[in-house]
Chain A
Amino acid sequence: MAGPGPSGASGDATYAGLVRPLLLPTWAVVGILMVLPVCLMAVYSFLTKEFRGGVIWDFTLAAYDQFFITRGLFGDEPARIEWTYIGIFWRSIWQAGLATLLCLFIGFPTAWFIATRPARSRGVWLFLITIPYWVNLLIRTVSLKFLIRETGPLNESLMAIGLIDTPLPLVNTNLAVQLGLFYSYLPFMVLPIYAAVERYNFALSEAAADLYASRLATLREVVLPVVKPGIVAGCILVFVPSLGAFLAPDLLGGAKTFMLGSLIDEQFKGSQGNWPFGAAVAMILMTLVMTVLILYARAQARGARR
Chain B
Amino acid sequence: MTAAVDIHEAVKRYGSVTALHRVDLSISDNEFFTLLGPSGCGKTTLLRMIAGFEDVTEGEVRLFGENIARLEPNRRPVNTVFQHYALFPHMTVIENVAFGLKMKGVDAATRRGRAGRMLDMVHLSAFADRMPDQLSGGQQQRVALARALAPEPKVLLLDEPLSALDLKLRQAMRVELKQLQQDTGITFIFVTHDQEEALTMSDRIAVMSEGRVQQVGTARDIYEAPVNRFVADFIGETNLLEVDVARVEGGTAEVVLPGGHRITCPSATTAPGRHHLSIRPERISLSAEADLTATVDRVVYLGTDLQVMVRLEGGTPFSLRMQNAARVSPPEPGATVGLHLEEGAARLLAD
Q: State the interface size on chain A (CB cutoff 8 A).
A: 19
Residue ID in chain A nearest B99 by CB atoms: A211
| Closest Cβ–Cβ distance, residue B67 to chain A (whole Å) | 19
Q: How far is A206 from B82 in the complex, measured between Cα atoms in Å?
A: 9
Query: Is the beta-carbon distance between B103 and A217 smaller than 8 angstroms?
Result: yes
Partner of B74, one of A204, A209, A226: A209
- Flag whether A136 is at the interface (Cβ < 8 A): no
Q: How far is A169 from B168 in the complex, measured between Cα atoms in Å?
A: 74
Query: Is the beta-carbon distance between B86 and A203 smaller than 8 angstroms?
Result: yes
- Flag whether A201 is at the interface (Cβ < 8 A): yes
A211 with B84: in contact, given A206-B53, A206-B73, A225-B90 (CB under 8 Å)?
no
Partner of B73, one of A201, A204, A210, A225: A210
Q: Which residues of A contact B216 (CB under 8 A)?
A: none
A211 with B79: in contact, given A206-B53, A206-B73, A217-B103 (CB under 8 Å)?
yes
Annotate A192-227 by CB proximity to B: 1 below 8 A, 0 otherwise. 000000000101101111111110010001100110
| Closest Cβ–Cβ distance, residue A60 to chain B (whole Å) | 50
- Flag whether B327 is at the interface (Cβ < 8 A): no
Q: Which residues of B contact A217 (CB under 8 A)?
A: 103
- Flag whether B147 is at the interface (Cβ < 8 A): yes
Q: Which residues of B contact A211 (CB under 8 A)?
A: 74, 79, 99-100, 103, 147-148, 151
Chain B positions 133-184 with a Cβ under 8 Å from a chain A Cβ: 147-148, 151
Which of A213, A214, A228 counts the most chain B CB atoms within 10 A?
Answer: A213
| Closest Cβ–Cβ distance, residue B97 to chain A (whole Å) | 10
Residue ID in chain B nearest A201 by CB atoms: B86
Q: Which residues of A contact B78 (CB under 8 A)?
A: 210
Of all A-B residue pairs in the complex, the 9 with the closest CB atoms, nearest first, are: A211-B100, A203-B86, A212-B103, A207-B86, A209-B73, A225-B90, A213-B103, A210-B80, A209-B74
- 18 example contacts (A-B, Cβ-Cβ < 8 A) are as follows A203-B82, A203-B86, A204-B86, A206-B82, A206-B86, A207-B86, A209-B52, A209-B53, A209-B73, A210-B53, A211-B74, A211-B79, A212-B74, A212-B104, A212-B151, A213-B74, A213-B99, A213-B103
Given A210-B80, A212-B103, 17 more A-B residue pairs with CB atoms under 8 Å apart are A204-B88, A204-B89, A206-B80, A207-B82, A210-B79, A211-B100, A211-B147, A211-B148, A212-B74, A212-B104, A213-B74, A213-B103, A214-B74, A221-B99, A225-B90, A226-B88, A306-B92
